[in-house]
Structure 1
Amino acid sequence: MAASRIAVDAMGGDNAPKAVVEGAIQALHQTEGELSVLLVGPEEQLHGLLASRPEAPEERLRIVDAPEAIGMGETPSTAVKQKPNSSIHQGLAAHHDDHADAFVSAGNTGAIMAASMFILQRIPGVERPSIAGFFPTLKGSSVVLDIGSNVDCKPAHLLQFARMGTVYARQVLKTDPPSVGLLNIGEEPGKGNEQVKAAHELLRDADDVHFVGNVEGGDLLFYAADIIICDGFVGNALLKFGESMSTVLSDMCQQEMERQGLAPDEQKLVARVLDEVREGFDPEALGGAPLLGVNGNVLVGHGRSTADVIAQMIHSARTIATENVAHALEEAFQSSSA
């Protein structure tokens, strides 16, 4: 894999900056010299954290001073305008100015998206950049677009999500051609609201999308398609339902095991199996979601991201940068408008 420089928002997430610094060091130790990290945040504070970590590979770890931070509860547009020296703003600026090949943050999702559109700009032809999520199934994960960044969508936006998901699956997941399903209340083409029925026609007629038709909610866990398309309102509800499974499965099974009087050894065996199953529903285990449609490589993490997850996000960002997903998206949208 080619050398990569990843800008990391050191102030993003509930466990920042300590978990972010630990995750960056972990990612660097997991690779050879082909990876370097730009830690973006208050310089003095980050130097203090690194001083207690003598094992940090200083030659591959650089600090970019960003004295301001955007909180998780701040209004994205206001924060981006009023805090130009935030870690999100300065990290994206480093990417824009070609000092980094990708940007990673577990911070305020709305602010990341707003700042990305302002600094990196949208890829020509993309009306609504989209954050892609992943939904576990019996045959691996399906990519879901959109998962909350665009709540109100036109049919044309759903077609664009399908195109972006197709490029991502080809470049990163190495699936060709990836199948695309439209989340609906029935499999028949005439089912759904006006938005979804119109989107079905657009997807059916698109020659650059391998559309397999409507898919129902009950089909998702059986791997209905490589890519699932829906608006952000539905996608976010789906994602949050999936996230709840990571905890509720264990609780429900524990209640039932106690009711049936299973021995402690039997309970431990079931718990081990459940831990493996529920990991697929855990947003932290996925290591970030790509923001597709902006002119750059951006990965958004969950606010609860731990050091392990930050390290995984850095590796994922490196893959996205190496596969040049943004450039592939630009070429795809140029072809679709020709």
Structure 2
Amino acid sequence: MASRIAVDAMGGDDAPEAVVTGAIQAVNHADRDPSVLLVGPEAQIRAVLEEHPDAPHDALDIIDAPDVIGMGEAPAAAVKQKTNSSIHQGLAAHHDDKADAFVSAGNTGAIMGAAMFILGRIAGVERPSIAGFFPNLRGSSVVLDIGSNVDCKPSHLVQFARMGTIYARQVLDNEDPTVGLINIGEEPGKGNELVKEAYERLQNIDDIHFKGNVEGGDLLFYAADILICDGFVGNVLLKFGESMTTVLSEMTQQEMDRQGLSDDEQALVSNVLGEVSHHFDPESMGGAPLLGVNGNVLIGHGSSSPDVIEQMIHAAAALSTTEVIPAIESAFQSETG
């Protein structure tokens, strides 16, 4: 049976145009699998669809959601007041089994708050976590948390490690993913009280392949498959990585001009640099999964292009066919039981 993905048509800086275009691409490039539920003000969605004669209307349905939660709105207030928003109604469609997953490039805080309210947390999960990706010489590492939990307890970091391990096994086909705890030194006993206590707990858990502390200088080389930290550190790390796409290009251009490289030489260097910088582009990985809620939710960058929306829809369809949620349920039941 084809996966059915609820997509927040109003999520992102260029919504609804970029989102609807990405949804059309996703359906057209997948032989109508998955099908898409576009969630948002129906008139605006139909207006965009009319601009696309290639839109496969038999694989695109609309759920009218007149309210829109803006990118800059306070999440808590928006979640309570705008219950007819595209975020609410998309998550409700997933909760009611009308969709197998929910995708949004909208207000991250509102998505997370509404997901916890509508879908609920998996039993035993204290804090759901958004998982991001950080490039390294082997590919990329999964980072938990990347900003959804700024203030954490040691138990939260342990749970992030467990959910990240399950995600890597179920989605990334990594049977024995390694876990590293981001710290200011590799030696046991380093860091603040949060990471010192988390270290003690993680080294005593049999079903997590804990490598120990990892330093910032090791991350780009490859430190572990899964990197654990609080959301404050994780968000700084991811934002730093995102800045590399622009800064490396500008620094390189300055140096090429200083050395007087020819146009052909500059073009060659720029092409190579562009390929390297692509790994730091947040759009290159598509959406970030929200782990720990009782549903399949992918959150995208606000600047997501139609191509990224397409990637997110395909990733959500793939995620919906895995056993991530039952595996987390089983692991946390064993932990609390």
After TM superposition, the score normalised by the length of structure 2 is 0.99
Residue range with higher mean Cα deviation, 48-57 or 71-80: 48-57
Give me the whole-angstrom Cα distance separating, in 1, the residues matched to 2:109 and 2:308: 20
Cross-structure match for 1:174: 173
The CA deviation string for residues 250-273 of structure 1, in whole angstroms up to 9 with x for no partner, is 100010011011111010011011
The CA deviation string for residues 223-253 of structure 1, in whole angstroms up to 9 with x for no partner, is 1000000000000111110010011001000
- The secondary structure found in structure 2 opposite 1:221 is coil
Give me the whole-angstrom Cα distance separating, in 1, the residues matched to 2:329 and 2:248: 41
Superposition pairs of residues 323-338 of structure 1, within 5 angstroms: 323-338=322-337
Cross-structure match for 1:64: 63
Unmatched tracts of structure 1, length 5 or more: none
Give me the whole-angstrom Cα distance separating, in 1, the residues matched to 2:52 and 2:109: 32
The CA deviation string for residues 118-155 of structure 1, in whole angstroms up to 9 with x for no partner, is 00000001000000010000100000000000000000
Does the aligned pair in 2 maintain the 1:23–1:308 contact within 8 Å? yes
What is the CA-CA distance between 1:47 and the residue it aligns to?
1.3
Q: What is the identity, as a one-letter code, of the residue corresponding to 1:271?
A: S
Superposition pairs of residues 190-205 of structure 1, within 5 angstroms: 190-205=189-204
Cross-structure match for 2:249: 250
Give me the whole-angstrom Cα distance separating, in 1, the residues matched to 2:115 and 2:27: 25
Cross-structure match for 1:149: 148
Does the aligned pair in 2 maintain the 1:123–1:295 contact within 8 Å? yes
Give me the whole-angstrom Cα distance separating, in 1, the residues matched to 2:21 and 2:263: 36
Cross-structure match for 2:161: 162
What is the CA-CA distance between 1:46 and the residue it aligns to?
0.9
Give me the whole-angstrom Cα distance separating, in 2, the residues matched to 1:263 and 1:34: 48
Does the aligned pair in 2 maintain the 1:10–1:20 contact within 8 Å? yes
Q: What is the identity, as a one-letter code, of the residue corresponding to 2:282?
A: P
Superposition pairs of residues 1-338 of structure 1, within 5 angstroms: 3-338=2-337
> 4+ residue stretches of structure 1 with deviation over 6 A?
none
- The secondary structure found in structure 2 opposite 1:258 is helix
Unmatched tracts of structure 2, length 5 or more: none
Corresponding residue pairs, total: 337
Does the aligned pair in 1 maintain the 2:179–2:212 contact within 8 Å? yes
Give me the whole-angstrom Cα distance separating, in 2, the residues matched to 1:295 and 1:23: 26
- The secondary structure found in structure 2 opposite 1:205 is coil
- The secondary structure found in structure 2 opposite 1:222 is coil
Give me the whole-angstrom Cα distance separating, in 2, the residues matched to 1:230 and 1:21: 35
Q: What is the identity, as a one-letter code, of the residue corresponding to 1:192?
A: G
What is the CA-CA distance between 1:34 and the residue it aligns to?
2.8
What is the CA-CA distance between 1:52 and the residue it aligns to?
2.1
Give me the whole-angstrom Cα distance separating, in 2, the residues matched to 1:264 and 1:9: 44
